[in-house]
């Protein structure tokens, strides 16, 4: 739109109205006055094109350096190294070399060579004829000089070097430790295959494998190396002991149960792959489980449960765990050699659990009434907690106020043997008891069996505490 529209207000006329409405792409202006209504559109401007990118700005100045971090703590000092010492002293017939390092002191002797034998004298000249003296025989050839040690030294590599008078040079191994740079010192051992005994050494004591013959034992042989001597004297082959694979089984419900009780068995079996005395592992592998119980149930899991059952007086319930396994490795003796006779063979290891055993209680005690004896009344007396047998005995305490003494046990045990009255100086009062038979139930829903029930009634309540000793 070019220019600004003029609006004329007429005197004494009608005031104009201006309305602005949105249209597509802009706005519509509507003016109403005395001359009528006029309108015009004002369209929105089009977006201009994007301006060109500005040039890159200059790099900013470097920031100030950060504050230095605190110094780290000093490291722990390394352990002091131990330098070995080597001394050479004269002994009769040679030299003694002594080496001391962190592992202790070692020594060995180097003997001088033996002097050569003198040459034999020449043969005497023959007697001259007619008194003429024979010519003197020639002197014998001198014997060779003996060989001794001309020099001992430790070279720059720390090796002990011995030079003999005959020009031979022998290196006996490294005897000086090398600094590891961390305060520790490593010591290379003398080569024990190069230390040779120059003569036999004897002892009057049995040492290691050395046995005495006529009171003497050979502790070192001439020409034997130090290693050969150590193995001969101290080494002894010992065969390993073998512990075969085994199984253990946990059955926490095992125990004695009164007839009629309910047992709910659960178990856990564990396999042990055995051991060899000189090996860390037998190499035996478990291949499977077979778990069975005496009620005919089975399982292949190392842990689980079997169906519950009602215990009877003759119940003897157990669980058996069988574990099959592979063969083990061939074990080694103490010297590292194989010992095939001790190998664990493939097979089965077995273990049997403790038992659930059933029993019928016997009952005894006193009552303060003389009511008819029933199963419930009898089961309210003291329980034996186990199966009694013929010849079993127990004690009944009779308190003040008691009116009746009662004892009951399975009828299969037969007649009562005796009852003794302790207060009555041990008098036998068996004949004072009356006998009746009552079917006495077990625990739970047990229907019971016939019991012999012996009882003694007092005319009045007991006024003195007493004790009866009973034997079935």
Q: Which residues pair with 438 in a beta bridge?
A: 451
pLDDT at 185 over 70: no
> 3-state class of 196 per DSSP?
strand
CB 146 within 8 A of CB 154: no
The ranges of the chain annotated as CATH 2.60.40.10 are: 242-358
pLDDT at 287 over 90: yes
Helices (H), 144-204: none
Which residues, 6 or more positions from 266, have their beta carbon under 8 angstroms from its beta carbon? 251, 252, 253, 303, 304, 305, 306
Which residues, 6 or more positions from 53, have their beta carbon under 8 angstroms from its beta carbon? none
Homologous superfamily of domain range 242-358: Immunoglobulins (2.60.40.10)
- What's the half-sphere exposure (Cβ side, CA atoms, 13 Å) at 242? 20
- Tokens 């504050």 belong to 67
- What's the half-sphere exposure (Cβ side, CA atoms, 13 Å) at 67? 3
Please compute the mean of the pLDDT values over residues 385-391 and round it to a whole number.
96
What is the pLDDT of the chain when averaged over all its residues?
82
Burial readout 166-191 (b: 16 or more C-beta within 10 A, e: otherwise) = eeeeeebbbbbbeeeeeeebebbebb
**pLDDT tier at 96, thresholds 50, 70, 90:** confident
Alpha carbons 334 and 250: distance in angstroms, whole number: 36
Q: State both tokens at 291.
A: 């778990």
Return the pLDDT at 116.
47
Choose from 45-54, 157-166, 384-393 the range with maximum mean pLDDT. 384-393
Choose from 44-53, 63-72, 400-409 the range with maximum mean pLDDT. 400-409
């Amino acid at each position: 739109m070019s220019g600004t529209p003029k609006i004329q207000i007429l005197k004494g006329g009608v005031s104009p109205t201006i309305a602005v409405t949105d249209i597509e792409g802009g706005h519509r202006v509507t003016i109403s006055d005395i001359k009528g209504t006029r309108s015009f559109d004002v369209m929105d401007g089009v977006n201009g094109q994007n301006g060109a990118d500005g040039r890159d700005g200059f790099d900013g100045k470097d920031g100030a350096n950060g504050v230095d971090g605190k110094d780290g703590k000093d490291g722990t000092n390394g352990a002091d190294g131990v330098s070995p010492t080597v001394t050479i002293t004269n002994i009769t017939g040679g030299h003694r070399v002594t080496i001391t390092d962190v592992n202790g002191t070692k020594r060995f002797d180097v003997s001088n060579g033996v002097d050569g034998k003198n040459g034999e004298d020449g043969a005497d000249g023959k007697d001259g004829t007619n008194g003429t003296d024979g010519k003197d025989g020639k002197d014998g050839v001198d014997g060779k000089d003996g060989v001794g040690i001309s020099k001992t030294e430790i070279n720059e590599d720390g090796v002990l070097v011995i030079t003999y008078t005959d020009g031979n040079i022998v290196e006996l191994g490294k005897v000086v430790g090398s600094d590891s740079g961390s305060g520790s010192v490593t010591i290379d051992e003398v080569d024990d295959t190069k230390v040779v005994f120059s003569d036999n050494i004897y002892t009057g004591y049995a040492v290691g494998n050395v046995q005495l013959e006529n009171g003497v034992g050979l502790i070192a042989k001439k020409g034997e190396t130090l290693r050969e001597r150590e193995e001969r004297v101290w080494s002894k082959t010992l065969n390993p002991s073998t512990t075969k694979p085994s199984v253990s089984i946990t059955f926490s419900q095992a125990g004695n149960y009164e007839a009629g009780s309910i047992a709910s068995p659960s178990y856990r079996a564990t396999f042990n792959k055995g051991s060899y005395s000189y090996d860390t592992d037998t190499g035996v592998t478990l291949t499977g489980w077979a778990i069975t119980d005496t009620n005919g149930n089975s399982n292949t899991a190392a842990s689980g449960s079997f169906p519950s059952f009602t215990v009877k007086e003759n119940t003897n319930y157990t669980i058996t765990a069988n574990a099959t396994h592979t063969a083990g490795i061939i074990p080694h003796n103490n010297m590292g050699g194989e010992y095939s006779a001790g190998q664990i063979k493939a097979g089965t290891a077995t273990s049997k659990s403790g038992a659930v055993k059933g029993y019928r209680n016997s009952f005894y005690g006193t009552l303060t009434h003389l009511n008819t004896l029933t199963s419930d009344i009898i089961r309210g007396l003291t329980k034996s907690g186990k199966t009694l047998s013929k010849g079993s005995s127990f004690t009944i305490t009779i308190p003040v106020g008691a009116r009746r003494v009662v004892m009951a046990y399975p009828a299969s045990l037969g007649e009562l043997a005796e009852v003794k009255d302790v207060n009555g100086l041990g008098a036998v009062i068996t004949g004072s008891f009356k006998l009746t038979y009552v079917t006495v139930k077990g625990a739970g829903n047990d229907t019971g069996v016939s019991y012999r029930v012996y009882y003694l009634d007092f005319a009045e309540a007991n006024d003195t505490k007493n004790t009866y000793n009973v034997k079935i």
